[in-house]
């Protein structure tokens, strides 16, 4: 994966506070929220580059077991 670009972004403090609150509600960092919104705007305007990678998954891994078949995972639990 290519190294991620770093930029300095100057925002009105009220805009930053609103973004930070929104990010917190969606369990994202402010930085991840800004990238999410920029990607959505690019996609909706048809300007998303073909070579753009996916947003990297961060944080703790999911505690849910992955099932490879359509079996009910509850069937594996003891009664």
Distance of CA 18 to the CA centre of its chain: 18
For the record, the structure tokens of 73 come out as: 């995972």
pLDDT at position 65 is 56
Find out whether 32 and 58 touch, Cβ atoms under 8 Å. yes
Give the span between the Cα atoms of 8 and 28, in whole angstroms.
Answer: 19
Q: What whole-number distance in Å separates Cα of residue 42 and Cα of residue 51?
A: 13
Taking only the tens place, the pLDDT of each residue in 6-65 is 999 999 999 999 999 999 999 999 999 999 999 999 999 999 998 887 777 766 766 765
Handedness of CA 38, 40, 20, 29 (dihedral sign): negative
């Amino acid at each position: 994966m290519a190294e991620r670009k770093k930029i300095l972004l100057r925002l009105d403090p009220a805009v930053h506070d609103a973004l930070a609150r929104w990010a917190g509600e969606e369990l994202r960092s402010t930085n991840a929220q800004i990238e999410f919104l920029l990607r959505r705007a690019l996609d909706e305007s048809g300007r998303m580059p073909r070579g753009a990678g996916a947003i990297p998954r961060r944080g703790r891994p999911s505690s849910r077991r992955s099932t490879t078949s359509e079996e009910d995972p509850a069937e594996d639990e003891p009664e």
